[in-house]
Structure 1
């Protein structure tokens, strides 16, 4: 995978997350301040929970930093797998977003 292809995939993932965070206010009355620069997305939930999601292009990884820890994901067979043996990206973000919003959130890459 080229650098450009990787960055495009990451951009698409961040788009999905931004769109979901917009929906949380409408559906759940949860305010999320989303700030994006290139392929770094900073989320600050109304309870002051920070989550940072960013690409690490040289390693072809997506990193997630949240109160529950730091996670590194690699795309393997069309799934984002935690390089340290934790849950995959969808499961991890579902748990992180559920904790941050106080509501059950199911994150999927398909939006």
Structure 2
């Protein structure tokens, strides 16, 4: 994957996260605060816990840090997959965000 292709896919993922946070805040009782600075989105939950998603441009990866731990993802041509085979990014984000929010959330 070229640097430009990585940037396009990574930026699209961060935008999807931001838009999903806005939708979740509008449609549920969970008030998420998504703050984007460059290639990083920080999701702040009402209980003040956070999930941080950031681009790792030199490695062509996306990193996710949650209470559950830290995870690295590479784009496989269709979705972002965990580099250790733990799963797909959006599924894992849904799981970790739901755990931190105390109710089911979907970033799809």
**TM norm structure 2:** 0.91
Give the Cα–Cα distance (whole angstroms) in 1 for the partners of residues 55 and 38 of structure 2: 9
SS of the aligned residue for 1:78 comes to coil
Give the Cα–Cα distance (whole angstroms) in 2 for the partners of residues 23 and 97 of structure 1: 14
Runs of 4+ in 1 over 3 A off after TM superposition: none
Structure 2, unmatched stretches of 5+, are none
Give the Cα–Cα distance (whole angstroms) in 2 for the partners of residues 50 and 106 of structure 1: 16
**TM norm structure 1:** 0.88
Structure 1, unmatched stretches of 5+, are none
Give the Cα–Cα distance (whole angstroms) in 2 for the partners of residues 79 and 57 of structure 1: 17
* Cα deviation code 1:2-31 (max 9, x no counterpart): 212211211111111111111122211211
Give the Cα–Cα distance (whole angstroms) in 1 for the partners of residues 104 and 36 of structure 2: 24
Give the length in aligned residue pairs: 108
